[in-house]
Amino acid sequence: MSQPSEHGATAASSLPAPVPGQHEHSSLTKLTSGVAATGARGEMGEALLEVRGLQKHFPLTQGIVFKRTVGHVRAVDGVDLTLRRGETVGLVGESGCGKSTVSKLIVALEKPTAGSIFFKGRDVARMGGRALKDYRREVQIIFQDPYASLNPRMTVGDIVAEGWSVHADVAPKKGRLKRTQELLDRVGLNPDYVNRYPHQFSGGQRQRIGIARALALQPEVIVCDEPVSALDVSVQAQVVNLLEDLQDELGLSYLFIAHDLSVVRHISDRVAVMYLGSIVEEGTADEVYSSPSHPYTQALLSSVPLHEPALRGQKDRILLQGDVPSPADPPSGCRFRTRCWKAQDVCATDPPQLVDRGQGHPSACHFAEARMVVPVEAE
Amino acid sequence: MTNLDLTKPTAELADQGTPLLEVDDLHVEFRTRSGPVHAVNGVSYSLAARETLAILGESGSGKSVSAQAIMGILETPPAVITGGGIWFQGRNMLEMPAEEQRKIRGPGISMIFQDALSSLNPVYSVGFQIGEMFRAHRGMGKKEARKRAVELMDRVRIPAAARRVDDYPHQFSGGMRQRVMIAMAIALDPRILIADEPTTALDVTVQAQVMDLLKDLQEETGMGLILITHDLGVVNEVADNVAVMYAGEIVERGTVDDVFTRPAHPYTDGLMSSVPQVESKGGRLQPIVGQPPNLARIPSGCPFHPRCSRRRLGAEAAPGRECSTDVPPLRLVVPGREAACHYSEEVLGVPAQ
């Protein structure tokens, strides 16, 4: 460590973790040595990424020659999120709730309509040139579809090393092949495969290539957009374990976006539940899963089939009626009120704020009340 | 038709005890330019009225191909049924003329698919497509068929059925489309419904609605349900019995309670411990190493042996039970449970007989 900080690398383990439930400080390995030189990693628990009032509206147009806007799809409509160093935040929701748009906004592939994203206290929208380039190196993304996200005409080595052609300072030209091979080895692929093409790999191996590509630029944050949904059940666990190991080793922070509630519970420290463009409930994984307080979270959890024959029929069944309303014309007030069994007049007029109403963690419901939906397994 | 009577409701047959469907040592291969792909290698199972049998497996395990063979919708060529029999109410469907097979499809066996959007015809209204069952099999007129279509849409709980009967598939949401397909499949009160990943493309709240609907319909009609899925949770909540498939074979079979509580095959065991559960955060996942095999090059001996943590090779193995050379047959391990592993007793922790 070249920079002086409150705690040196050796003292790190003796310090109490600032936020409970977080991974222990890990030793910095060879892969992160580059980062350590450019700026020492800060304290665990420091807010890295802060999202405030994020909105993204896509225009709906009509007409072929003279396009006019007839409305907006409110894909993301007021999202607040905080990602601290070394933690994993899970973002769950059903298809169409806007979770993938959030990921695109965070990696600056889309420009927000309103709201802001702060990275280490700096507004990403105001970053220009060099700062934005740096931000894009620090925040990497892993995509859902391991078939569509790798260029079929590039070798694996070229795919992993491509980022270095833009961010040349990360890896000196001379040792790039060796670095690529180290990265492949780290994600569990044979380093001799650098000259192979993506079609020669299975789905799980391709996802590992995607992970190696993200790691190549020594990011601090990785946005994982449904990283295991396209994989077979027996391979999912391999990739989940790899992500956990890398986090322990490199001190990475993940924003883990998925629709699979079981995987999210397993990997996340904190969980945010999204419905129709906004977050309805947020808390630690245990809070959200053992005492969900928003009706939508409760319904969502009660729909997940359990794996234990002994627990069958023991959970609270909440069957939601109807479908998710169109984000082009969302309901007034609370977005969920059209399907909610607790809805009253106030729900149609006042959009509920995401605040703690005495249930222990923030929930965007006027009538939030903790309720155990999923039986806790006796261990 | 000789002894094939499809007029009586399925519920009346339930007490007779004869299985509705028996699949016996079914083999299917795809003949491709680069050689044969062995998709199904000797699969046998039977299904009784009111029974729900889950076929659990990962992609490429042959679970869908075996169902397509039963339904008679395999594309031939390249697929060829190279052996075995499919007995529907005592008659071998593979030896029937095509015309008779066609009469079974619909009132006898019917099927729903994963992707409702690509399974429905985009240029016909859903009412017309549901009514087609009545026009083709019952010789009804257009008007009568449309009326029956509305009734069916009501039965699968599509709101405002009378108004939506003339809508086109793209105007429905994913869950509603799946209901339209279920309506088509149950139109003629089939004896057997094969559901091939019916909820995989759906969100979890919609999945719960659709599974509930299927269960209710089964209770009403007494049909047998074959549920093809890779989701352990769905199997646990819906099925009575389960057959676990790997590399085109059934590797374990038993009641869901038994198999899920104490798996007897290392693959089933591995699957259970590699999947996170919503009911607890759990410790580190224990994945199965490696990849599912390529069906064109299935490993010798036990097809699971390259990934198995309990495999015994060479001198370690008991005579005749070497995992890389001796193919383990699907055998009775304990009463009510069959598994295709040489060392199932060890997996279960019971003494060998």
CA distance B341 to A305: 28
B175 confidence band (pLDDT: 50, 70, 90):
confident
Q: Residue A234: its chain B contacts at CB < 8 A?
A: 58, 270-271, 274, 287-288, 292
**Chain A residues near residue B261 by CB distance under 8 angstroms:** 309-310
Predicted ipTM beyond 0.90 = no
B154-175 b/e with 16+ CB inside 10 Å = b? ebbbbeebeebbebbbeebbbb
Q: Is residue A113 located within the same domain as residue A252? A: yes
- Whether A304 is covered by a domain: the verdict is yes
The answer to whether residue A316 neighbours chain B at the CB level (below 8 Å) is no
What is the dihedral angle through the alpha carbons of A182, A187, A190, A196, rounded to the nearest 10 degrees? Answer: -90
Q: Which residue of B has its CA nearest to A372?
A: B279
What is the layout of strands, in order, in the sheet containing B21-32? B35-47, B21-32, B79-88, B91-92
> Which residue is it, tokens 């697929």?
B79
On whether any CB of chain A is under 8 Å from the CB of B220, the answer is: no
Measured distance CA(A307)–CA(A225) in Å, rounded? 25
- Among A39-53, B3-17, B142-156, B294-308, the minimum mean pLDDT is found in B3-17
A-contacting residues of B 13-72, CB under 8 Å? 58-59
How far is A330 from chain B, CA to nearest CA, in Å? Answer: 16
Answer whether B274 touches A (CB < 8 Å).
yes
DSSP B118-148: HHS-TTS-HHHHHHHHHHHHH---HHHHHHH
Q: Per residue in A283-293, is it b (16+ CB within 10 Å) or e — as a string?
A: bbbbbbbbbbb
Q: Which residues of A touch B256 (CB under 8 A)?
A: 309
A316/A189 same-domain check: no
Burial category of B235 from C-beta neighbours within 10 Å (exposed 0-12, middle 13-18, buried 19 and up): buried
DSSP for A292-351, please give it: --SHHHHHHHHHSPPS-GGGTT-S---PPPS-PPPTTSPPSSSTTGGG-SS--HHHHHSP
Confidence of residue A137 (pLDDT cuts 50, 70, 90): very high
Q: How far is the alpha carbon of B38 from chain A, nearest alpha carbon, in Å? A: 19
For residue range B201-242, what is the model confidence (pLDDT) as tens digits? Answer: 788 888 888 888 889 989 988 899 999 998 898 999 899 999
Confidence of residue B94 (pLDDT cuts 50, 70, 90): confident
Any A CB within 8 A of B233 CB: yes
Contacts of B282 in chain A (CB under 8 A): 266
Question: What pLDDT shows up at residue A10?
Answer: 39
Residue A342 sits in which domain range? 294-379
Are B236 and A236 an interchain contact pair (Cβ–Cβ within 8 Å)? Answer: no
Specify the pLDDT at position A9. Answer: 38
3-state secondary structure of A111: coil
Percent of chain A with pLDDT over 70: 87
The tokens of A308 are what? Answer: 């234990």
Tell me the pLDDT band of A223, cut-offs 50, 70 and 90.
very high
Where are the strands (E) in chain B, listed by range?
A: 21-32, 35-47, 52-56, 79-88, 91-92, 109-112, 192-196, 224-229, 241-246, 249-255, 331-334, 337-339
For chain B, give every domain's residue range.
109-187, 303-353
Torsion of CA B189, B193, B198, B204, to 10 degrees: 70
Q: Label residue B9 by pLDDT band (50, 70, 90).
A: low
Peptide bond into B306 cis (omega under 30): no
Higher pLDDT, B324 or A34: B324
Q: What is the reported pLDDT for A294?
A: 93
> Rounded CA gap, A108 and A265, in Å?
27
Say how far apart CA B100 and CA B123 lie, in whole Å.
29
| Of the candidates B297, B289, B222, the residue with the CA atom closest to the CA atom of residue A238 | B289
Kindly state whether B171 is in contact with chain A, defined as any CB-CB distance less than 8 angstroms: no
- Cα distance between the two ends of chain B: 47
| Distance, CA of A126 to CA of A121 (rounded, Å) | 12
Mean pLDDT of chain B: 87
Residue A277 lies in a domain: no
Flag whether residue A94 sits within 8 Å of chain B, measured between CB atoms: yes
**What total of structural domains would you count in chain A?**
2
Identify the band that residue A49 occupies on the pLDDT scale cut at 50, 70 and 90.
very high
Whether the pLDDT of residue B85 is over 80: the answer is: yes
Chain A residues within an 8 Å CB radius of B275: 233, 236-237, 262, 307
Q: Count H helices, E strands: chain B? A: 13, 12
List the structure tokens of B248. Answer: 């085109």
C-alpha radius of gyration, chain B, whole number: 21
Classify residue A25: in a domain, yes or no. Answer: no
User: Which of A95, A241, A376 lies at the smallest CB-CB distance from B287?
Assistant: A241
DSSP β-ladder status, A122-123 and A114-119: antiparallel
User: Which has the closest alpha carbon to B153: B109, B175, B184?
Assistant: B184
Show residues of chain B in contact with A305, CB under 8 Å.
Answer: 208, 211, 231, 233-234, 236-238
A273 at B interface, C-beta within 8 A: no
Lowest mean pLDDT among A115-129, A277-291, B275-289: B275-289
Q: Are residues B58 and A233, on separate chains, in Cβ contact within 8 Å?
A: yes
Residues A169 and A52 in one domain: yes
CA of B211, closest CA in chain A: separation in Å? Answer: 10
A266 touching chain B per CB within 8 A: yes
Neighbouring-strand partners of residue A254? A88, A222
Burial of B91 (0-12, 13-18, 19+ CB in 10 A): middle
Count Cβ atoms below 10 Å from residue B274 Cβ, excluding itself.
20
Q: Which residues of B touch A322 (CB under 8 A)?
A: 159
Q: Which pLDDT value is given to residue A127?
A: 87
**Cβ neighbours, 10 Å, residue A20:** 9
- Count A/B contacts: CB-CB distance under 8 Å: 134
A303/A254 same-domain check: no
Q: Dihedral, CA atoms, B159, B161, B164, B167, nearest 10 degrees?
A: 110
Q: Which two tokens stand for residue A259?
A: 């629709």
Retrieve residue B208's tokens: 């719960």
Chain A residues whose beta carbon lies within 8 Å of the beta carbon of residue B234: 305
Sign of CA dihedral A218, A223, A226, A228: positive
pLDDT value, residue A11 = 38
In 3-state terms, what secondary structure has residue A205?
helix
Q: Tell me the pLDDT tens digit for each residue of B48-84.
A: 988 999 999 888 888 889 998 998 888 888 889 998 8
Predicted confidence at residue A141, as pLDDT, reads 93
Cβ neighbours of A262 in B, within 8 Å: 233, 275-278
Both A130 and A174 in a single domain?
A: yes
**Claim to verify: residue A191 and residue A252 sit in the same structural domain:** yes
Residue A156 inside a domain? The answer is yes
Q: Does A377 touch chain B (CB under 8 A)?
A: yes
- B98 in contact with A at a CB cutoff of 8 Å? no
B159: contact with A, CB 8 A cutoff: yes
Chain B contact for A154, CB < 8 A?
A: no
Q: Is A372 on the interface with B (CB under 8 A)?
A: no
Report helix, strand or coil for A183. Answer: helix
Report how far residue B208's alpha carbon sits from residue B348's, in angstroms, rounded to the nearest whole number.
Answer: 32
Chain A: closest CA distance from residue B17 (Å) = 26
* A300/B contact by beta carbon, under 8 A: yes
Give residue A263's pLDDT band: very low, low, confident or very high (50, 70, 90): very high
pLDDT band (50, 70, 90) for residue B13 = low
- Please tell me whether residues A186 and A91 are part of one structural domain: yes
Which of these ranges, B4-13, B57-66, B271-280, has the smallest mean pLDDT? B4-13
> What gap in Å lies between CA A102 and CA A83, rounded to an integer?
13
Band of the pLDDT at B347, cuts 50, 70, 90? confident
State what percent of residues in chain B have pLDDT above 70.
Answer: 95
Tell me if chain A has a CB within 8 Å of the CB of B291. yes
Q: Please say whether the beta carbons of B188 and B130 come within 8 A.
A: no
A327 touches chain B (CB under 8 A): no
How far A270 CA lies from chain B's nearest CA (Å)?
Answer: 12
φ, ψ for residue B48 (rounded to 5)? -100, 165
**For A50-67, how does the pLDDT look when each residue is reduced to its tens digit (9 = 90+)?**
999 999 999 888 887 888
Least CB–CB distance from A233: residue in B207, B208, B274: B274
Confirm or reject contact between B210 and chain A (CB < 8 A).
Answer: no
pLDDT digits (tens, 9 = 90+) for B176-191: 888 898 888 888 888 8
Strands A253-258 and A270-275: what pairing? unpaired
Residues A311 and A354 in one domain: yes
8 Å CB contact of A259 and B288: no
Residue B120 has pLDDT above 80, yes or no: yes
Residue at A24 is within a domain: no
Which residue has 């410790």 as its token pair? Answer: B283
Q: Which residue in B232, B285, B288 is closest to A240 by CB distance?
A: B285
Q: Are B258 and B243 in contact (CB under 8 A)?
A: no
pLDDT for the residue A37: 35
Predicted confidence (pLDDT) per residue in B243-267, tens digit: 999 999 999 999 999 999 999 999 9
Tokens coding A295: 């009706």
Residue B187, both tokens? 């139109």
Nearest chain B residue (CA) to A203: B291
Residue B116 one-letter amino acid = A
